[in-house]
Structure 1
Amino acid sequence: MNFLAGIAVVGVMLSAVDADSIGHDKVQPFAQPESVTFSEKAAVQFKPSLVVYSGCHPYPAVNAAGETSGGLKPSGSSSGQCEKPELGSQIYGRAGWYSNMWAIMYAWYFPKDDPPMSSGHRHDWENIVVWIDNPEANPPMLKAVSAWINEESRYDQHHASARAYNNARKYSNGSSPNIRYRSLSWFRYTRVDMSVQDDDAEFQDLIMWEQLTNEARSALESTDFGDAKVPFNDANYQSLLDKAWPY
């Protein structure tokens, strides 16, 4: 009797978890709020653009009510069912001081990572860190960009002083780095590559960590996205900045 009651309780708990997860194409993104603080203005100024070479396009991960994306099973084509977010896309941000630099982490969510000729997984998070001198400077100066290399669990650093990176073609509007997203496979070697490049790309509405609703922040702290970890939540933010530090 107690065993059956235990099963019933577990069933209710699992149903409650499932109720917080909705279809990947049903998640309403946050509209980009008007920037008020120096931090918010700098985050918008340096917001990166993204071009998708292969794989899913970025989708919202959570809505205002705290409902999260259920993602997609890694099957079919690498961009199957995730090529066009009908409700709009999203880029997430979180910023603060790290040592003597201002770090702005930007993150995208993808419903699946499904590279050709290789096994993938449901859910994918990718991120970059933009390093500037001071958000209150007039104007703030870009110092470096650290782009996450998922397969290698490390960041690829690009310094603004480097000749190749300092080329004006590397920016979409003089301050925003262009980023490329690729889901590739060579001889069963799978790699998601985000690196600075000079192709045309798109912008998504930016929502900063502190601009999210309490429900959305709580969901991003507690939701299990499998192998994909939310880079800007409390559990991962600081340790990833440690890895991203370019100096």
Structure 2
Amino acid sequence: DDYAGHPTLGHNKIVPLTQSASSGFEGQLELRFNPFLYVSGGCDPYPAVDATGNLGEGLRPTGGGRSGCDDGGTAQVYVRGGQSQNRTGIMFSYYMPKVRWGKGNNEGHTHYWASVVVWLNQFGCGEDASSVSPVGVSFTTDHLVWDTAPAGKISYASSGVGVDTPTHPKMQIHDNAFSPFTGADGDKVFERTVVSWFSLPEAAKKALSDVKYEKTQVPVTDANFQAQLDAAYRESFYGGLTDQQGC
């Protein structure tokens, strides 16, 4: 791993940033569709960087999948919205200090990023978040490998604050792979703290842009975001829908 001269701290010493969504309508959508996440195996998500640009130094991929990384709390989810094929998707990306998917030295590595993209369609006009609904969800099952589920195959949760319509897709991650969460709700299924790529302090943004991980990459940087969003897109999500309902 090449940290490009940026300082590092232990993965559990990186202070998470407070919630900071994008401004305006985009930020409303980021908060409205922030997934509820259940970790069924492997590390919890942790903050990857702090406000002054210190990067998490990760963990060696030894021991159990959750050893040393099972107390991430509300951590951080790094969020960036964009378009692919003129369709809107919001990417929610999570950093884990290590990943393991089996026993042995070749069954894991230090540092891992995993992502969920919620694809949206607006059933109405104007900047009214309640008129926007998910049509499908894409999710990584390995580094740069995407799977998908239509909106009807995803369960949704309410945040309990503001409008309590269930809009948050429920997802689980086991080691390196996301999948839809189908279990019962509980205190281990919850949102992580949103930080928009565009709201990151400059030092944090530069550190994430500069770091070169050996086995993974930061999905939301300018260098990586569009290619990953395009890879996650599926035209089938929008079958039978008119373009933004004529807006």
Under a length normalisation based on structure 2, what TM-score does the superposition of the two structures give?
Answer: 0.82
Give unpaired runs (5+ residues) of structure 1. 1-13, 184-191
Given that 1:62 and 1:69 are in contact with CA atoms closer than 8 Å, whether structure 2 keeps it comes out as yes
Task: State, as a whole percentage, how many aligned pairs show the same letter.
Answer: 30
Q: What is the CA–CA distance in structure 2 between the aligned matches of 1:204 and 1:46, rounded to whole Å?
A: 12
The residue number in structure 2 matching 1:195 is: 179
Residues paired across the two proteins, number: 217
Task: Provide the alpha-carbon RMSD of the alignment.
Answer: 2.1
Matched, 1:182 2:174: yes
Q: Deviations over 1:26-83 (max 9, x none)?
A: 1011111366410001000000011111111000000110111000001111111110
Cα distance change of structure 1 residues 27 and 234 upon mapping to structure 2, 3 Å threshold: same
Q: Does the 8 Å CA contact 2:20/2:196 hold for their aligned counterparts?
A: no
2 CA distance for matches of 1:15 and 1:145? 32
Give me the whole-angstrom Cα distance separating, in 2, the residues matched to 1:15 and 1:124.
15
Once the two structures are overlaid, the 10-residue window that deviates more, 110-119 or 121-130, is 110-119
User: What TM-score do the two structures reach when normalised by structure 1?
Assistant: 0.82
Q: Alpha carbons of 1:15 and 1:60: their partners in 2 closer, same or farther (altered >3 Å)?
A: closer
Instruction: State the shift of 1:206 in Å.
Output: 0.3
Shift of 1:16: 8.2
Q: 1:73 to 1:104 in 2, by over 3 A?
A: same
* Residue 98 (structure 1) aligns with: 84
Report what 1:148 is aligned to.
140
Mapped to 2, the partners of 1:84 and 1:157 lie a distance apart of 28
Where does residue 220 of structure 1 map in the other structure? 208
- 2: CA distance, partners of 1:114 / 1:36: 37
Which structure is larger by alpha-carbon Rg, 1 or 2? 1
How far did residue 85 of structure 1 move?
2.6
Letter in 2 for 1:155: W
Q: Of residues 101, 109, 113 in structure 1, which corresponds to 2:95?
A: 109
Amino acid at match of 1:97: Q
Query: Where does structure 2 lack aligned partners over 5 or more consecutive residues?
Result: 159-165, 236-247
Tell me if structure 2 keeps the 8 A contact 1:171–1:198: no
